[in-house]
Protein backbone atom coordinates (compact mmCIF):
# COMPACT_ATOMS: atom_id res chain seq x y z
CA UNK A 1 0.00 0.00 0.00
CA UNK A 2 1.71 3.26 -1.09
CA UNK A 3 2.14 5.87 1.63
CA UNK A 4 -0.92 8.11 1.93
CA UNK A 5 -0.73 11.54 0.35
CA UNK A 6 -3.22 13.85 1.97
CA UNK A 7 -3.77 17.17 0.20
CA UNK A 8 -5.64 19.75 2.26
CA UNK A 9 -7.03 22.97 0.72
CA UNK A 10 -8.02 25.62 3.23
CA UNK A 11 -10.04 28.81 2.76
CA UNK A 12 -11.14 31.76 4.86
CA UNK A 13 -13.48 29.56 6.94
CA UNK A 14 -10.58 27.96 8.81
CA UNK A 15 -9.49 31.41 10.05
CA UNK A 16 -13.00 32.70 10.78
CA UNK A 17 -12.87 31.60 14.43
CA UNK A 18 -9.55 33.39 14.79
CA UNK A 19 -11.48 36.58 14.12
CA UNK A 20 -10.43 37.06 10.47
CA UNK A 21 -13.30 37.91 8.14
CA UNK A 22 -14.36 35.62 5.34
CA UNK A 23 -15.23 36.95 1.93
CA UNK A 24 -18.67 35.75 1.03
CA UNK A 25 -20.37 35.19 4.34
CA UNK A 26 -22.84 37.68 5.72
CA UNK A 27 -20.95 40.97 6.19
CA UNK A 28 -17.84 39.45 4.61
CA UNK A 29 -15.07 41.38 2.91
CA UNK A 30 -16.74 41.34 -0.47
CA UNK A 31 -19.87 42.82 1.08
CA UNK A 32 -17.87 45.90 2.09
CA UNK A 33 -15.49 46.27 -0.85
CA UNK A 34 -15.90 45.77 -4.59
CA UNK A 35 -13.58 42.98 -5.76
CA UNK A 36 -12.77 45.04 -8.86
CA UNK A 37 -11.56 47.93 -6.70
CA UNK A 38 -9.38 46.10 -4.17
CA UNK A 39 -8.45 42.66 -5.55
CA UNK A 40 -7.56 43.20 -9.21
CA UNK A 41 -4.46 44.70 -10.91
CA UNK A 42 -6.77 47.20 -12.63
CA UNK A 43 -8.15 48.34 -9.27
CA UNK A 44 -4.61 48.77 -7.96
CA UNK A 45 -3.71 50.78 -11.07
CA UNK A 46 -6.73 53.03 -10.60
CA UNK A 47 -6.29 53.66 -6.87
CA UNK A 48 -3.20 52.13 -5.23
CA UNK A 49 -3.82 54.04 -2.00
CA UNK A 50 -7.27 52.43 -1.60
CA UNK A 51 -5.81 48.98 -2.20
CA UNK A 52 -2.93 49.58 0.24
CA UNK A 53 -5.47 50.78 2.86
CA UNK A 54 -7.51 47.59 2.31
CA UNK A 55 -4.49 45.32 2.76
CA UNK A 56 -2.92 47.41 5.55
CA UNK A 57 -6.16 46.93 7.52
CA UNK A 58 -6.18 43.17 6.90
CA UNK A 59 -2.45 42.91 7.72
CA UNK A 60 -3.04 44.70 11.04
CA UNK A 61 -5.94 42.37 11.85
CA UNK A 62 -3.97 39.27 10.85
CA UNK A 63 -1.01 40.40 12.98
CA UNK A 64 -3.10 40.14 16.17
CA UNK A 65 -4.98 36.96 15.20
CA UNK A 66 -4.04 33.67 16.83
CA UNK A 67 -4.24 30.21 15.27
CA UNK A 68 -7.26 28.22 16.42
CA UNK A 69 -7.85 24.52 17.19
CA UNK A 70 -8.34 23.75 13.49
CA UNK A 71 -4.95 25.19 12.48
CA UNK A 72 -3.34 23.33 15.39
CA UNK A 73 -5.02 20.04 14.47
CA UNK A 74 -3.64 20.22 10.91
CA UNK A 75 -0.13 20.92 12.26
CA UNK A 76 -0.52 17.88 14.53
CA UNK A 77 -1.59 15.74 11.58
CA UNK A 78 1.43 16.87 9.58
CA UNK A 79 3.77 16.06 12.46
CA UNK A 80 2.19 12.63 12.95
CA UNK A 81 2.48 11.71 9.24
CA UNK A 82 5.81 13.24 8.16
CA UNK A 83 5.89 14.14 4.47
CA UNK A 84 2.39 12.81 3.79
CA UNK A 85 0.26 15.88 4.57
CA UNK A 86 0.39 18.85 2.20
CA UNK A 87 -1.44 22.08 3.10
CA UNK A 88 -2.41 24.37 0.21
CA UNK A 89 -4.09 27.53 1.44
CA UNK A 90 -6.04 30.24 -0.34
CA UNK A 91 -5.59 32.34 2.79
CA UNK A 92 -3.07 35.14 2.96
CA UNK A 93 -2.77 35.05 6.76
CA UNK A 94 0.11 33.17 8.45
CA UNK A 95 -2.02 31.20 10.95
CA UNK A 96 -1.09 27.75 9.62
CA UNK A 97 2.60 28.54 10.18
CA UNK A 98 1.84 30.12 13.58
CA UNK A 99 0.24 26.78 14.57
CA UNK A 100 3.41 24.91 13.53
CA UNK A 101 2.45 23.72 10.04
CA UNK A 102 5.34 23.25 7.59
CA UNK A 103 5.79 24.03 3.90
CA UNK A 104 2.36 25.62 3.59
CA UNK A 105 1.71 26.54 -0.05
CA UNK A 106 0.12 30.00 -0.19
CA UNK A 107 -1.45 29.85 -3.65
CA UNK A 108 -2.95 33.34 -3.28
CA UNK A 109 0.13 34.92 -1.71
CA UNK A 110 0.73 36.31 1.78
CA UNK A 111 -0.15 39.54 3.60
CA UNK A 112 3.25 39.55 5.37
CA UNK A 113 5.21 39.80 2.12
CA UNK A 114 5.67 42.74 -0.28
CA UNK A 115 6.29 42.54 -4.03
CA UNK A 116 7.92 45.06 -6.34
CA UNK A 117 5.72 45.65 -9.39
CA UNK A 118 8.81 46.74 -11.33
CA UNK A 119 11.46 44.06 -10.64
CA UNK A 120 9.42 41.31 -8.89
CA UNK A 121 11.68 41.44 -5.79
CA UNK A 122 9.91 40.11 -2.65
CA UNK A 123 10.59 41.11 0.93
CA UNK A 124 8.90 40.97 4.34
CA UNK A 125 6.05 43.49 4.27
CA UNK A 126 6.12 46.34 6.81
CA UNK A 127 2.98 46.73 8.93
CA UNK A 128 1.82 49.60 6.71
CA UNK A 129 2.61 49.76 3.01
CA UNK A 130 2.30 52.81 0.79
CA UNK A 131 2.60 53.25 -2.97
CA UNK A 132 5.66 55.51 -2.48
CA UNK A 133 7.66 52.85 -0.58
CA UNK A 134 10.84 52.28 -2.62
CA UNK A 135 11.71 48.69 -3.55
CA UNK A 136 14.79 47.63 -1.51
CA UNK A 137 16.26 46.04 -4.65
CA UNK A 138 15.58 48.43 -7.53
CA UNK A 139 14.37 51.56 -5.74
CA UNK A 140 11.21 51.88 -7.85
CA UNK A 141 8.08 53.16 -6.08
CA UNK A 142 6.03 50.20 -7.37
CA UNK A 143 5.38 48.38 -4.11
CA UNK A 144 2.31 46.14 -3.89
CA UNK A 145 1.06 43.46 -1.52
CA UNK A 146 2.38 40.01 -2.51
CA UNK A 147 -1.11 38.61 -3.01
CA UNK A 148 -2.66 37.04 -6.11
CA UNK A 149 -5.47 39.22 -7.50
CA UNK A 150 -8.24 38.13 -9.83
CA UNK A 151 -6.84 37.63 -13.30
CA UNK A 152 -3.38 36.80 -11.92
CA UNK A 153 -1.84 33.34 -11.90
CA UNK A 154 -1.91 31.68 -8.47
CA UNK A 155 1.43 30.49 -7.06
CA UNK A 156 2.66 26.90 -7.17
CA UNK A 157 0.14 25.55 -9.66
CA UNK A 158 2.53 22.96 -11.16
CA UNK A 159 3.31 21.62 -7.69
CA UNK A 160 -0.37 21.60 -6.75
CA UNK A 161 -1.41 19.69 -9.88
CA UNK A 162 1.34 17.16 -9.10
CA UNK A 163 0.13 16.75 -5.50
CA UNK A 164 -3.48 16.27 -6.64
CA UNK A 165 -2.35 13.61 -9.09
CA UNK A 166 -0.73 11.58 -6.32
CA UNK A 167 -3.32 12.30 -3.62
CA UNK A 168 -5.01 9.41 -1.83
CA UNK A 169 -7.23 11.88 0.05
CA UNK A 170 -8.25 15.48 -0.79
CA UNK A 171 -9.83 17.55 1.98
CA UNK A 172 -11.30 21.05 1.48
CA UNK A 173 -11.73 23.01 4.70
CA UNK A 174 -13.66 26.28 5.07
CA UNK A 175 -13.85 27.29 1.43
CA UNK A 176 -16.95 28.26 -0.54
CA UNK A 177 -15.60 26.75 -3.76
CA UNK A 178 -16.36 29.99 -5.63
CA UNK A 179 -12.85 30.84 -6.82
CA UNK A 180 -10.92 29.05 -9.54
CA UNK A 181 -8.62 27.26 -10.08
CA UNK A 182 -8.84 26.19 -6.38
CA UNK A 183 -12.54 25.32 -6.79
CA UNK A 184 -11.63 22.68 -9.38
CA UNK A 185 -9.08 20.83 -7.21
CA UNK A 186 -11.72 18.36 -6.02
CA UNK A 187 -12.37 17.20 -9.59
CA UNK A 188 -8.64 16.85 -10.24
CA UNK A 189 -8.26 14.77 -7.08
CA UNK A 190 -11.24 12.57 -7.92
CA UNK A 191 -9.92 12.03 -11.44
CA UNK A 192 -6.74 10.69 -9.82
CA UNK A 193 -8.78 8.27 -7.74
CA UNK A 194 -8.52 10.15 -4.46
CA UNK A 195 -11.10 10.00 -1.73
CA UNK A 196 -12.61 13.46 -1.13
CA UNK A 197 -13.91 15.11 2.03
CA UNK A 198 -15.39 18.57 2.63
CA UNK A 199 -15.23 20.09 6.13
CA UNK A 200 -17.27 23.26 6.28
CA UNK A 201 -19.81 25.21 8.30
CA UNK A 202 -22.33 24.54 5.54
CA UNK A 203 -22.26 22.89 2.10
CA UNK A 204 -20.03 24.74 -0.39
CA UNK A 205 -21.03 25.26 -4.01
CA UNK A 206 -18.87 22.22 -4.89
CA UNK A 207 -20.39 19.87 -2.29
CA UNK A 208 -21.79 17.51 -4.94
CA UNK A 209 -18.20 16.77 -6.05
CA UNK A 210 -17.17 15.44 -2.64
CA UNK A 211 -17.56 11.78 -1.65
CA UNK A 212 -17.96 12.72 2.02
CA UNK A 213 -18.68 15.84 4.07
CA UNK A 214 -18.92 16.93 7.69
CA UNK A 215 -20.49 20.19 8.76
CA UNK A 216 -19.83 22.37 11.76
CA UNK A 217 -17.36 25.03 12.93
CA UNK A 218 -13.78 24.24 11.88
CA UNK A 219 -12.56 24.34 15.49
CA UNK A 220 -14.85 21.36 16.24
CA UNK A 221 -14.96 19.42 12.98
CA UNK A 222 -11.25 19.56 12.05
CA UNK A 223 -9.78 18.33 15.38
CA UNK A 224 -12.42 15.56 15.53
CA UNK A 225 -11.54 14.42 12.01
CA UNK A 226 -7.77 14.51 12.74
CA UNK A 227 -8.15 12.55 16.00
CA UNK A 228 -10.23 9.92 14.17
CA UNK A 229 -7.71 9.68 11.32
CA UNK A 230 -4.78 9.27 13.72
CA UNK A 231 -6.66 6.73 15.85
CA UNK A 232 -7.67 4.75 12.74
C1 LIG B 1 -6.66 32.91 -12.53
C2 LIG B 1 -6.66 37.79 -3.09
C3 LIG B 1 -5.75 32.74 -14.70
C4 LIG B 1 -5.92 37.82 -1.84
C5 LIG B 1 -8.20 36.20 -4.06
C6 LIG B 1 -12.17 29.26 -14.38
C7 LIG B 1 -10.84 28.85 -14.41
C8 LIG B 1 -9.81 29.72 -14.04
C9 LIG B 1 -10.10 31.02 -13.62
C10 LIG B 1 -11.42 31.44 -13.60
C11 LIG B 1 -12.44 30.57 -13.96
N12 LIG B 1 -13.60 31.24 -13.85
C13 LIG B 1 -13.35 32.49 -13.39
C14 LIG B 1 -12.03 32.65 -13.25
C15 LIG B 1 -11.37 33.89 -12.81
C16 LIG B 1 -11.23 34.01 -11.29
C17 LIG B 1 -12.38 33.43 -10.54
O18 LIG B 1 -12.31 32.32 -10.02
N19 LIG B 1 -13.44 34.21 -10.39
C20 LIG B 1 -14.57 33.75 -9.60
C21 LIG B 1 -15.07 34.88 -8.71
C22 LIG B 1 -15.62 33.23 -10.56
N23 LIG B 1 -10.01 33.38 -10.85
C24 LIG B 1 -8.85 34.10 -10.92
O25 LIG B 1 -8.79 35.21 -11.40
C26 LIG B 1 -7.59 33.42 -10.39
N27 LIG B 1 -6.57 33.56 -11.39
O28 LIG B 1 -7.53 32.16 -12.81
O29 LIG B 1 -5.63 33.25 -13.37
C30 LIG B 1 -4.49 33.00 -15.38
C31 LIG B 1 -4.03 32.04 -16.25
C32 LIG B 1 -2.84 32.28 -16.90
C33 LIG B 1 -2.13 33.47 -16.67
C34 LIG B 1 -2.61 34.43 -15.77
C35 LIG B 1 -3.80 34.20 -15.13
C36 LIG B 1 -7.04 34.12 -9.15
C37 LIG B 1 -7.93 33.88 -7.99
C38 LIG B 1 -7.30 34.50 -6.72
C39 LIG B 1 -8.01 35.78 -6.43
N40 LIG B 1 -7.54 36.32 -5.16
N41 LIG B 1 -7.79 36.88 -3.00
C42 LIG B 1 -6.84 38.28 -0.76
O43 LIG B 1 -7.26 39.45 -0.81
O44 LIG B 1 -7.11 37.46 0.14
S45 LIG B 1 -9.57 35.21 -3.97
C46 LIG B 1 -10.34 35.26 -2.47
O47 LIG B 1 -11.40 34.29 -2.51
C48 LIG B 1 -9.46 34.82 -1.33
O49 LIG B 1 -8.13 34.61 -1.68
C50 LIG B 1 -10.07 33.50 -0.91
O51 LIG B 1 -9.07 32.61 -0.67
C52 LIG B 1 -10.81 33.11 -2.10
C53 LIG B 1 -11.83 32.03 -1.86
O54 LIG B 1 -12.67 32.43 -0.80
P55 LIG B 1 -12.85 31.40 0.42
O56 LIG B 1 -11.53 31.20 1.08
O57 LIG B 1 -13.56 30.18 -0.04
O58 LIG B 1 -13.75 32.25 1.39
P59 LIG B 1 -15.31 32.56 1.24
O60 LIG B 1 -15.62 33.75 2.08
O61 LIG B 1 -15.70 32.55 -0.20
O62 LIG B 1 -16.00 31.28 1.91
C63 LIG B 1 -15.83 31.08 3.30
C64 LIG B 1 -16.17 29.63 3.55
O65 LIG B 1 -15.90 29.35 4.93
C66 LIG B 1 -17.64 29.31 3.34
O67 LIG B 1 -17.76 28.05 2.69
C68 LIG B 1 -18.21 29.22 4.76
O69 LIG B 1 -19.26 28.29 4.87
C70 LIG B 1 -16.99 28.72 5.52
N71 LIG B 1 -16.96 29.06 6.95
C72 LIG B 1 -17.29 30.24 7.52
N73 LIG B 1 -17.08 30.16 8.86
C74 LIG B 1 -16.60 28.91 9.11
C75 LIG B 1 -16.51 28.21 7.90
N76 LIG B 1 -16.10 26.94 7.81
C77 LIG B 1 -15.72 26.34 8.97
N78 LIG B 1 -15.77 26.94 10.18
C79 LIG B 1 -16.20 28.21 10.29
N80 LIG B 1 -16.25 28.79 11.50
More confident of the two residues 21 and 130: 130
Mean pLDDT of the chain: 95
pLDDT band of residue 25 (cuts 50, 70, 90) is: confident
* Nearest by Cα to 176 from 21, 54, 22: 22
For ligand 1, the distance from its centroid to the CA atom of residue 192, given in whole angstroms, is: 23
Q: Whose CA is nearest to atom 30 of ligand 1?
A: 153
pLDDT band of residue 2 (cuts 50, 70, 90) is: low
Give the per-residue pLDDT at 28: 78
For ligand 1, the distance from its centroid to the CA atom of residue 177, given in whole angstroms, is: 7
Q: Between the CA atoms of 102, 188, 193 and 214, what dihedral angle is there, to the nearest 10 degrees?
A: 70
**Gap between the Cα atoms of 135 and 31, Å rounded:** 32
Determine the 3-state secondary structure of 160 from DSSP. helix
For ligand 1, the distance from its centroid to the CA atom of residue 2, given in whole angstroms, is: 32
User: Above 60 in pLDDT, residue 232?
Assistant: yes
Rounded average pLDDT over 143-164:
97
pLDDT digits 0-9 by tens, 30-78: 778 899 999 999 999 999 999 999 999 999 999 999 999 999 999 999 9
Q: Where are the domains of the chain?
A: 1-20+67-108+154-232, 21-64+112-147
**Gap between the Cα atoms of 60 and 23, Å rounded:** 17
Give the per-residue pLDDT at 1: 55
Global pTM reads: 0.96
1-20+67-108+154-232 and 21-64+112-147 in the same fold: no
Catalytic one of 108, 121, 130, 155: 108
**Gap between the Cα atoms of 115 and 145, Å rounded:** 6
Rounded average pLDDT over 159-183:
97
Q: Enter the CATH code of domain 1-20+67-108+154-232.
A: 3.40.50.1220
pLDDT digits 0-9 by tens, 97-125: 999 999 999 999 999 999 999 999 999 99
**Gap between the Cα atoms of 143 and 213, Å rounded:** 41
For ligand 1, the distance from its centroid to the CA atom of residue 182, given in whole angstroms, is: 7
| Mutate which of 10, 12, 18, 24 for ligand 1 pocket (most atoms within 8 A of beta carbon) | 12
Q: Which fold has domain 21-64+112-147?
A: SIR2/SIRT2 'Small Domain' (3.30.1600)
Strand partners, 199: 173, 214
Say how many Å lie between the first and final Cα of the chain, rounded: 16
Q: Which segment of 14-28, 127-141, 151-165, 167-181 scores lowest on mean pLDDT?
A: 14-28
CA distances from 6 to 46, 65, 167, 229 (A): 41, 27, 6, 11
DSSP state of 82: T
Q: Whose CA is nearest to atom 66 of ligand 1?
A: 176
Q: Is the CB of 226 under 6 A from ligand 1?
A: no
Q: Would you list the DSSP string of 122-159?
A: EEEPPSS--TTPPPTTT--S-EEEEE--TTSPPTTHHH
108 is catalytic: yes
Amino acid sequence: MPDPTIVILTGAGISAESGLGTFRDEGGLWARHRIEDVATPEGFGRDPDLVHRFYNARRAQAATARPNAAHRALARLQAALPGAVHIVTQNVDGLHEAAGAREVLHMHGRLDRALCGACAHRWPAPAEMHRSDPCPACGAAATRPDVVWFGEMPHGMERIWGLLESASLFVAIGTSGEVYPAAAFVEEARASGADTLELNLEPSSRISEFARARFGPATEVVPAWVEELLAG
